[in-house]
Structure 1
Amino acid sequence: MIIIRALAFLLFFTVIPMAVGRLITYKARVSLTEEYLIGFFGNLGIFYILYSVIAWLQLWVTMGEAVTGAFTLLLKAYFPLIAVLLIAWLVLERKSFSAGIKTATTKFGIITKKIFTDGFTVIYFLAFMAVLVLQLYMAYGYEVNEWSYDDYDYVVSSKDTITYDALSYVNIIDGTMPNTLEKRLAYSWDSYIAMLSKVSGFEVTTVCHTILPVLFLLIAYGVYYYIAQFIFEKTDDRLIFLLILSFAYIFGLYSHYSVTFRLLGAIWQGKAVLTVIAIPFFTMYLIKSYSSTLSNGRILPIIAISMGASSLTSLGIIFIPIMAVITWVLMCAYNKRIYGIRYLIASLVGPAYLGVFYTLIWMLQSDATGGSDQYFPFRRRHEWWYKWFKENI
């Protein structure tokens, strides 16, 4: 049973991202790495949209007494939708599985040949693998002891989501409900971790401090190799880049505000996933998109990445627009004209969604705590969707 649950957990880091990524890029095929990462963040974006709707309903029907059932409702909406997407992917790709496997095998063979036909490249490859394995070992064996002050929010909130069957609704200190902070309810990452814990049967702490560090380290270095492919033409130069980057990370833990801490200290936190995985990948994907012929087929992938990145932390409302606008300005300067407005707008969809959702939560919270329904005077206790929730007595 444990093995089955573990395999179900891994689906969210293997098959599901590839399926979602292939569906999103169906009209504009990209590399396997891009498909996987687009699918990974696209899946987070899908979860975020469902989460925001149900979290809003949870607050809407709260008129004093706490209600529960929102997390269960979210899972009932999310799992069938993912199942439909998987079936759609299998149907659409039924004739191209063999071709896809052949393409992946060919690319792997080319990379392997480049590595093992040159003596120095072999040395660089083995050195990088040794450093990577060391980091993975430390992540798996020792990050269980790494506790930052943010874990009193991230880990506890995820655990409370399961325990109380509610979405970011519980006071993390004393467990009282309802107790909602706008900045915490505005993103869905805590609830996504809770979903992973529920699916696997692993404790939230185990998911955060043992499993996710290993998986996210692999994804992060996959992103860094993706960046190296764009910067360097030769394989040995790419490996040297990864080696230098690895050592910079290993010896860069000078504070809890360093990038090293986000990668090697607390990578399971939403702001860490945003800064060491989402932002680097999104930046490079935008640069490649702007550098190629402009195509409407890239708009949906950009929106998917933007939504997924915005679901990680409320700080996405700041960091993502800064990155997107800077990238756009640089590409306009490079092309000496206003260029790629559609890509810029698509890249800002996620932060805009986050900002609107945050504002609506604030308005609803103001009504709840201010004693008067200033923004939503038509809100009633027994809406027809109240049947999905139950009072916490």
Structure 2
Amino acid sequence: MAIKGFEILLWFLIIPLAAGNLPVFETGKEKDWFVRMTDALICGYVLLFAVFELLALPLIFTRQSFAVLKYSYEILACVLALAGVIFAWKNKKNRADGAERKKSLSRKKIPAAMWLAFLLVAIQMGAYVFGMATDLDDAFYVATATTTLETNGMFTYDAYTGMLASYLPARYVFAPFPILLAFYSDMVHMHAAVVAHTVEPVFFLLISYLVYWKIGRKLFDKDDRKVGLFLLFLVLIQMFSYYSVYTQGTFLSIRIWQGKALLASFVLPAIFLQAKECMEMNRMCDAWVTLFLMMTSACLVSGMGIMLAPIMLGLMTLLYAVKDRNRGNIKRAVICCLPNVICAAAYVIIR
């Protein structure tokens, strides 16, 4: 049990946190250690999602075995994590005032609303750990992951019938998120259904609320009291929005392990926040690289992300172009949308 717990922490927390410290991200420039850790975790997940998408698609279309993808991605993820640790260690001397910052943090009073929001988030995590809500989409997502592990093939068998598939499912092949579920299941040595319903939701819920917390800091100019109230009301709205199976709160609180739910809860809000920062910086910087990786991640989690992400980024780019009377960001936004455009064009071709 202890070994499984360590494997879960390794692949869902330690490796993403380490990979998020790479110099391509701006996490090291933040003075507050908690914000720096938050940025590293978010960027780490985005980087690993994007790498999996770029690695999986060629292997799927060339009909390679799942073992090839598994070992390739495992090695690459570990290398990225190790590189992130080395980079963070080298830059540790630039943060020699860490003790002083910890003292200032201890004197900083966290508002009661923020504590209450943390408690409600913990309750949502507990609901995933100690309970389980099944969904009709289990018939495809969990079955695809299980079939991948059993047959060592990716989309080679129909998840609904178990029969040998004569063609690749165009609707899902460009968003191989169930294959990533199979990878996680193999790494932590647990059944795909358990990983999907119990393990993944805890960490996906965490990174989603971390993005919301960062959005609150952006909107309310880092005012902890206002950010705490913002986060509290957001959590309450999410918890009491199960009046339909299609609401955003339902996707977050009940089925976040599904790719389309992760798209709505984590990827699109992260793209919104990152795009806002890129447009306001109005120059080429590391933030645009992060945005490119986020757009690639949108392709991984859901086929809807292939279209929704560039639509949102395109609208934001046009609004900022009119607002600031500057067209310089349009070219960079187009480059960030290239993964989505390529996947959409390939979908039309094989459809």
Matched residue, 1:78: 73
Distance (whole Å) between structure 2 residues aligned to residue 244 and residue 150 of structure 1: 29
Report SS of the residue matched to 1:178. coil
After superposition, residues 1-12 of structure 1 pair within 5 angstroms as: 2-12=1-11
Change (3 A) 1:288 1:254: same
Distance (whole Å) between structure 2 residues aligned to residue 5 and residue 101 of structure 1: 36
Matched residue, 1:222: 210
Q: Deviations over 1:208-267 (max 9, x none)?
A: 111112111111111110000001131010000011111111111111111011100100
Matched residue, 1:345: 334
Partners of 2:157 and 2:164 within 8 A in 1: yes
Distance (whole Å) between structure 2 residues aligned to residue 94 and residue 355 of structure 1: 40
Q: Does 1:322 align with 2:311?
A: yes
Offset at residue 96 of structure 1 (A): 2.2
In structure 1, runs of 5+ residues without a counterpart are: 59-68, 364-393
Matched residue, 2:33: none
Change (3 A) 1:242 1:110: farther
Offset at residue 207 of structure 1 (A): 0.6
Q: Does 1:164 align with 2:159?
A: no
Partners of 1:21 and 1:37 within 8 A in 2: yes
Change (3 A) 1:88 1:205: same
Matched residue, 1:336: 325
Q: Deviations over 1:316-347 (max 9, x none)?
A: 12210111011111211220232412431233
Change (3 A) 1:293 1:174: closer
The partner residue of 2:239 within 241, 250, 258 is 250
After superposition, residues 194-205 of structure 1 pair within 5 angstroms as: 194-205=182-193
Which structure's relative contact order is higher, taking Cα pairs within 8 Å and 6+ residues apart? 1
The partner residue of 1:174 within 141, 161, 164 is 161
Change (3 A) 1:243 1:317: same
Distance (whole Å) between structure 1 residues aligned to residue 192 and residue 170 of structure 2: 23
Partners of 1:274 and 1:312 within 8 A in 2: yes
> Which one has the largest radius of gyration?
1
In structure 2, runs of 5+ residues without a counterpart are: 31-35
Q: Does 1:114 align with 2:102?
A: no
Q: Does 1:300 align with 2:284?
A: no
Distance (whole Å) between structure 1 residues aligned to residue 290 and residue 102 of structure 2: 24
Offset at residue 165 of structure 1 (A): 0.8
Change (3 A) 1:357 1:165: farther
The partner residue of 2:220 within 232, 248, 254 is 232
Amino acid in the other structure paired with 2:59: I
Distance (whole Å) between structure 2 residues aligned to residue 11 and residue 239 of structure 1: 30
Q: TM-score, normalised by structure 2?
A: 0.89
Distance (whole Å) between structure 2 residues aligned to residue 9 and residue 293 of structure 1: 39
Offset at residue 29 of structure 1 (A): 5.1
Q: Deviations over 1:349-390 (max 9, x none)?
A: 231232244346x17xxxxxxxxxxxxxxxxxxxxxxxxxxx
Amino acid in the other structure paired with 1:245: L
Q: Does 1:19 align with 2:6?
A: no
Matched residue, 1:44: 49
Offset at residue 114 of structure 1 (A): 3.2
Offset at residue 7 of structure 1 (A): 2.0
Offset at residue 30 of structure 1 (A): 5.1
Amino acid in the other structure paired with 1:280: P
Q: Deviations over 1:112-137 (max 9, x none)?
A: 53334xxxx2x223322332222222
Aligned residues: 343
Percent identity among equivalent residues? 21
Q: TM-score, normalised by structure 1?
A: 0.80
Change (3 A) 1:127 1:23: closer
Matched residue, 1:206: 194
Q: CA RMSD in A?
A: 2.3
Amino acid in the other structure paired with 2:205: L
Amino acid in the other structure paired with 1:159: T
Report SS of the residue matched to 2:271. helix
Q: Does 1:149 align with 2:136?
A: yes
Partners of 1:290 and 1:331 within 8 A in 2: yes
Q: Does 1:263 align with 2:263?
A: no
Partners of 1:306 and 1:351 within 8 A in 2: yes
